[in-house]
Structure 1
Amino acid sequence: MDITASDPAARTNRRAATGELSRGFGSRERYGYLFLAPWFIGFFGLSVGPMIWSFYLSFTNFDLLTDPKWVGASNYIRMFTTDPKFMTSMRVTLFFVVLSVPLKLIAALTVALLLNRGMKGLPIYRALFYLPSLLGASVAIAILWRQIFAGNGLVNKFLALFGIAGPSWISNPSYSLWTLIILSVWQFGSPMIIFLAGLRQIPADVYEAASLDGAGRWRQFIKITLPLLSPVVFFNAIIQTIEAFKNFTPAFIISGGTGNPINSTLFYTLYLYQEAFGFFRMGYASALAWVLLALVAIFTAFAFLTAKYWVHYD
């Protein structure tokens, strides 16, 4: 029996307590939104707002000095019909992505498998292998890379010890892009750490059971390691693909911001930079940026659609 039903004082106290509780929750919510306000300001002011403005500018001619002039889909039509540098930058970027991402993942997984054997000083090796990922995208490393692969650089001096006259790798269009691919693969530390964490989650008794059944190391790797590690492979592949599409600093520094020799290192992001800050064609650069976003979205969507055939979460 509810004693408050016949007690007016109890009913009053209950209403007062309920009101205080609701006011307390309301105050907490207000304080919560107050602390979230800087994030909301940054998200809408620095992300959503500029994206909307960029989408509008992609349908205009805008040079930063005069007001944007609406031109409709002309920027996109020009991009796909009369701009040879667009197709060149797309070809260079796709070649870089298709080669650098698998090679980087293979290098990262190989090193992770070696480190997973429980060697002494594992934290030191892990830090050393991770260091290139921290430094690889810096301007200093790009300048150092340019010096290493120059005509009188360290690589050619090493080849000279064996009587081999190496080319100027940076200025030769047949090799220049490969120097950037090697630089990207050298930065395998980040996916390696993630692979190593995934390998540590695979139960050891699974390998013991497979070994008792006569499975060798290669068969264990194919039948056990890769299937159980497939979610980690999928994650690394998505992240590294996006990063490869956004690659900019090494190509800018090594080529001097031009994409030379003969546009062999003209990455898509470098061409976008040239259009925006070299020629001040901000409208066309905005259209290029949205095409890049669509391209990354298509690759990501394709990866998610095909994941059900090779990614195993059970």
Structure 2
Amino acid sequence: MVNQWHKEEAGVLAVQMAAHTAGLISRDQTKHDFGIDLQFELTDDRGDGTGRLLAVQIKTGKSYFSNPTTDGWWFYISERHARYWLNHSLPVILALHDDRNEATYWVRVASDTIESTETGGSKVLVPSGQVLDESAFAHIARFAERRRSISTGTFVDTPGRHRVVMKEAMEAAARDDARIAFELAQGTGTLMVTDATYHMGDPMGRYVLTAYREFDEFLALVLVVNHLTSLNKLLESVNEPCVRLQALLKGFAMAMPNDAHLDEVEHLKQYIALNAATYWGGAI
């Protein structure tokens, strides 16, 4: 019989090997480990460290695959671990290693992946399609993109309460911005909002950047998608072509305020492009 420590070490080694093959620097978190087993540092073309880090928690054994779904497996999280991972300064990756077939699966633990259970706990779906191998790190590395977040501190006192209020307020502003953009485009008598020329206006860009800095990427994504949905409903009402997300993102930087850093804009564009279809539930 294989001891549990032997199983756990096998899972850690499998993840380390995948990261090593992908060119990442791996560091064990053996001292005072509390929910993080490894740290990975991304490297540049010369193999030098970049200072961009990822935190990884690894679980090994068939018991972690005992709650299957059609898309993967549910992993149930204690309250303290959920709080610890969500408040972590680094992006957190959860890796489940199946020692029966030596396959490892991953998911990012974030506000848009964690779900509440009926008993008040938390869970996260680890997709069966997200195999942690060398190629997976090209996608995972995007979570560690350096960004220059400049929080105003407006909501630092009670972020949970303000999150709901700001979400509702900014979504209402998104609808207004879409309506105004549509009306201005009709000012000449010819509709100028087209798939090739449209981008969000500066007010909407400010809302999106505020959501991103004060809360997270997911809230910013919700605002962008809801904004585009509102605009397209207006376009459809007069039998005009809808604007696609790809067209909006091409002009995304034009909507951002002057203090938006290039890293912030590019990181947000990548996140929206990768996750909008899942949130929207349709083609983009």
| TM-score, with length taken from structure 2 | 0.27
The structure whose residues are more often strand, as a share, is 2
Highest RCO, 1 vs 2 (Cα 8 Å, sep ≥ 6): 1
The structure whose residues are more often helix, as a share, is 1
| TM-score, with length taken from structure 1 | 0.25
For the pair shown, the structure with the greater C-alpha radius of gyration is: 1
